[in-house]
Amino acid sequence: MICQRCLDEAVIPVGGEYLYAIVKPGMDELHLPKGYDVLEVGEEPLDLLALIEDELLLALPIVPMHPPEECQQPAGLLESESSKNAVKRSNPFSVLAQLKRDPNV
């Protein structure tokens, strides 16, 4: 995966523990132990490959990143001079704050 902080390749460990109970359609699920996901299997065979793919996709992080101590800032991404010398602008809503304080309006 690509680290979203440094834009370099990152190896992200993916894993999890999954508990499934395979039941026939219409079977009562109340007698199953807590923590089990129910898979109803009828006439069609269970698509195990799709199930594993879905679980792997759900286990991936939303924003993949290296640990902070391993991340390096991308070369060429330096703070520009214009951002250091940025001019402070007045708040355009300060007029509204003045109107709020003035009881005659």
Q: Which residue has the tokens 């508990």?
A: 19
Longest CA–CA span in the chain (Å) reads: 77
Q: Is the model's pLDDT at 2 over the cut of 60?
A: yes
Domain count, the chain: 1
Q: Please give the pLDDT value at position 72.
A: 78
Q: Please give the pLDDT value at position 85.
A: 62
Rounded-to-integer distance, Cα 22 and Cα 32, Å: 10
Q: Is residue 96 part of a domain?
A: no
Q: Which one, of 21, 12, 28, 27, lies nearest residue 60 by Cα? A: 12
Task: Convert the pLDDT of each residue in 14-58 to its tens digit.
Answer: 888 888 888 888 777 777 788 888 888 888 888 899 999 999 999
Of the CA atoms within 13 Å of residue 34, those in its CB half-sphere come to 0
Q: Please give the pLDDT value at position 77.
A: 57
Q: Is residue 86 part of a domain?
A: no
Q: Is residue 6 part of a domain?
A: no
pTM of the model: 0.54
Q: Which one, of 63, 59, 83, 79, lies nearest residue 71 by Cα? A: 63
Q: Which domain holds residue 50?
A: 20-79
Task: Convert the pLDDT of each residue in 65-81 to its tens digit.
Answer: 888 888 877 666 555 55
